[in-house]
Chain A
Amino acid sequence: DIQMTQSPSSLSASVGDRVTITCQASQDINYYLNWYQQKPGKAPKLLIYDASKLETGVPSRFGGSGSGTDFTFTISSLQPEDIATYYCQHYDNLPTYLFGPGTKVDVK
C-alpha cells in the first residue's frame, strides 16, 4: 500500500514569509496529488489539484509542484488568514483517496 508522509508536522512563520511543505509518497504516484487547507473548526478546502493546478478562486500566493514521489506546497507570502492545517491527498483509479497526516501552520 502507498503511504503518504508530510513534513514538517507543524511550523511557525512570520507574515510575509515563504512557507514550504513537502509531501512524499512511498512509490511513484505520477501527478495524482491534491492539496487542501483546513482552518480550525471548518471543513477542508481544495487549493491545488493534479499537483500544480490552482483551484478557481484560490489566491495566487498558493502553489504546488512535483511529480513521482516528491511534492511541494508553497505559500509565497504568508498571511494571517493562512493559519490552518494543510493536507496532501493522493488519488488513483483503484480508487484510492489517501490523505497525508497534515501540516499545521501558525503565524509567529
Chain B
Amino acid sequence: QVQLVESGGGVVQPGLSLRLSCAASGFTFTTYAMHWVRQAPGKGLEWVAVIWYDGSYKYYADSVKGRFTISRDTSKNTLYLQMNSLRAEDTAVYYCARGRGYTYAKIDYWGQGTLVTVSS
C-alpha cells in the first residue's frame, strides 16, 4: 500500500533553515510527481511546491519562491523540502503528497503531515 511518511518538522527561529523529508513506499516513486502542501493552524490548504516524476521541473508558490527548494532522491525514494529564511507565516503542518494525471494535479495520496513552527 502507498505510504508517505514525513519527518523533520519542529520549532525553528525566524530566519533560520529546516529540511523536511518524506519517505515514500508502496509505489514506483520514479513515475509520479510529488507535492508539498501546507496548512497553517486553523486555516485552509496552501500548495507549496511540486517536482516532476523525473526531477526535470520544479514549481513553487509565490509565497516560498526563492526560499524553499524541493528535491527528490530516487535511490532513497525520498522527497525533500529545504526551507530557508523561515518566517512566522511559514508555520504550518506540511504534507507530502503524490500527484498524477494532467499536470499531476490529482493529489491522490497524502502523508500524515509534519508540523513546522517558526517562532523566537
Contacts and interface: CB of A to CB of B under 8 A. Distances in A.
Interface string B82-108: 000000000000010100011111111
Contacts of B44: 85, 87, 99-102
Nearest to A55: B108
B105 A87 contact: no
A87 B113 CA distance: 17
B-side interface mostly: strand
A-B CB proximity, top 4 nearest: A91-B105, A43-B110, A97-B47, A99-B45
Nearest to B57: A95
Contacts of A36: 45, 107
A101 B40 CA distance: 12
A32 B101 CA distance: 11
Contacts, number: 59
B73 interface: no
A72 interface: no
Interface of A: 32, 34, 36, 38, 43-46, 49, 55, 85, 87, 89, 91-95, 97-102
A99 B47 CA distance: 7
A95 B107 contact: no
Nearest to B99: A97
B105 A32 contact: yes
A49 B113 CA distance: 22
